[in-house]
Amino acid sequence: MPQERETRPDYTYRDPTLSLWQSAAAAMTSTARTGLEALESQNVFMTPVHAVASAAEGNREAPTAELESVAVVGDCAKVASQFLWAEIRGDRELAAQCAAELRKAVCDAAGWSTCLTNYLKFKAEGGNFPYLGNKNPVVSIDETFRIALVGDWGTGEDAAVNLLAQVKSQSPDLLLHLGDIYYSCTQEEAAKNFLDKCRATFPPNFPLFTLCGNHDMYSGGNGYYWLLSQIEQQASYFLLENSNWQLLAMDTGHNDSNPITVASYMTSVNPKEVDWLRDKIKTAGPACKTILLSHHQLFSPFAAVGRVDGRPYAYNPNLYRNFQDVLGQVAWWFWGHEHNLAVYEPYMGLERGRCVGCSAVPVFKNQQSYTLDRTLVTLDKGQFPVWATAAELGNNGTDYNHAFAILTLRGKSASVDYFEVPINQAGSRLWSEPYDG
């Protein structure tokens, strides 16, 4: 198990069960008393998560071995890891046995039962998965307008706060988050990790929009939709428009929340929403350019987007099928989900695919790299997207830097500036690209 996982509570995972436990641990330790602080409590309560994830990645039968060298956490961490393992595998009987053991264990003086209670509470609150369909919201913006794009930003950590300050220094007119508030977008996390940080940085009534990511659905979506009501965003999809540009934001997160299939599921968009999006593209007229926005990626050369018949894919057939015939009318498509910055050459009929999912989540060098994965299935056999190496993120030896983008609309023309932000340091412009029609 990599050392970073044993010492970094901010390490994130795609699995909803693990994310819910991380939310439970974070909620408990945010009100921790002196005894918990002495144990560096959040690190301790995250240990079962890292153990289970490591065991799952290694296709092992149980996560116990990952905890043998972590003496400080004792038996409760081992029971908690067995509980999470049972939850992920749908073994209700074993999960119930482990939960009962955690509630009465001697080592519970540290707070394991409270963490379990929080987890079960968040799980019980989930399952609603609201979706506001038939809203079709359209918002007018000025002809000259600056939009800040951040992705996978909602961690609430110092790095996220620092990056938001760098965003503010560029004087945007609107902040658009490409989705994912961690760990599972409970209402407390939506407030603490997103809304409070934005309101502390920007002036009152500053326009905020946030897309729906997979983590935003992990606690059932109630926290995400509560947040939309606070920022007066009518739905999880929308259109920002002026006479020359339309920015179409779609909801790819709503259908990526199943803990059984999350490792392989190929997400999709609500069919009625697809119809609305396509209609807006087709009826825009020759003078109006389209920009698409989503949480999930259309393609990636670095890691599987999902699986079809057990085979890892480099692209999402569902999204491609939805927009294949109109991609020639799309000037840019910005997405997040992959915690990376990638500026792609034209691919699959899309002129400018851009991944900006690197605004706050820590990504370690041993976890991800700018390396082509040739095991992935591509649309055209062996044809992978090419990316601009000059726009690759730097690192400090262990962690990759973060980044955000500023999209500037000026009448018929536009430009995008990408800013690289080292951990808790000032940012600098990494890459710029114009659009002159």
pLDDT digits (tens, 9 = 90+) for 246-301: 999 999 999 886 544 444 579 999 999 999 999 999 999 889 999 999 999 999 99
The secondary structure element, H or E, covering residue 308 is strand 306-308
d(CA 26, CA 405): 29
Domain 138-435 has CATH 3.60.21.10: yes
Give residue for tokens 């949480």: 295
Give yes or no for a cis peptide into 183 (omega within 30° of 0). Answer: yes
Report in angstroms the alpha-carbon separations of 329 from 128, 232, 296: 36, 30, 20
Residue 221 has pLDDT above 80, yes or no: yes
Per the listing, tokens 């057939």 go with 317
Q: Which of 372, 304, 382, 379 is nearest to 338 (CA)?
A: 304
pLDDT above 80 for 357: yes
DSSP H or E run through 417: strand 413-421
Instruction: Indicate the range of 172-176, 287-291, 304-308 predicted with least confidence.
Output: 304-308
pTM over 0.85: yes
* Lowest-pLDDT choice from 68-77, 115-124, 339-348, 407-416: 68-77
Strands, E assignment, 136-213? 138-140, 144-150, 174-177, 208-210
N-terminal to C-terminal alpha carbon distance within the chain: 50
* pLDDT tens track for 25-41: 888 776 554 444 534 55
- Specify which residues 148 forms β-bridges with: 175, 406
Tell me the domain boundaries of the chain.
3-125, 138-435
- Whole-angstrom Cα distance, residue 338 to residue 304? 10
- CB distance 421 to 427 below 8 Å: yes
**CA separation for the pair 380, 47 (Å, rounded):** 42
List, in sequence order, the alpha helices (H) in 262-401. Answer: 271-282, 317-323
